[in-house]
Structure 1
Amino acid sequence: MKPIDIFKALSNETRLQILEWLKEPEKHFSSQEMRDFQEAGVCVTQFHEKLNVTQSTASQHLSILYRAGLVTTARHGKWTYYKRNEDAFNQLKEIIEHEI
């Protein structure tokens, strides 16, 4: 986990919104969608609909968050599901407190 990659990922309002939704997904996605989340996470399709962007754009944002280590993925068939990587946020907190 490189701090510069994390800060670049966090420098976009849409990606910050995605991370906020993933912090408490039950508040931001319907109960039908949440049934899927309980098992695997939130599907990219749910993000593209909620963000009102193309699936490709939503996937790009999620890919940047993934490469920065801020989200984890689980693949089920042709679908990819995303969750926040809370360990990464704890590490980021340590970096900010002790290195910056």
Structure 2
Amino acid sequence: MLTVAVDSPALPAGYAAEPKWDGFRAQLAVYKGGRVLLRSRQGTDMTGSFPEIRTAALVQLPPNTALDGELVVWEARKLAFERLQQRLARRGKGAAEAARQ
């Protein structure tokens, strides 16, 4: 889940690249039976802090799907890392309210 610096931005055939986002690297897994797990690269379970991601995953992704990506918050046409950091401490009603905001 970690990026590796390269000397040249030119990529060999068959490789892909993405920009470095100011967010949390995360892995999302959707299991049979409706279980969803969102975890950090250290393995911390972040599912309870981001209920909207769990809901979207259940609706949009089939079981036995895994995604690796970056969680970001866009605000006023820019990334808002501080808003993302505030989400980790929230669970339950607090996380749901933060998701609505």
Scaled to the shorter chain, the TM-score interval is under 0.3
Q: Which has the larger radius of gyration?
A: 2
Structure with greater helix share of residues? 1
What's the TM-score, normalizing by structure 1?
A: 0.24
What's the TM-score, normalizing by structure 2?
A: 0.24
Structure with greater strand share of residues? 2
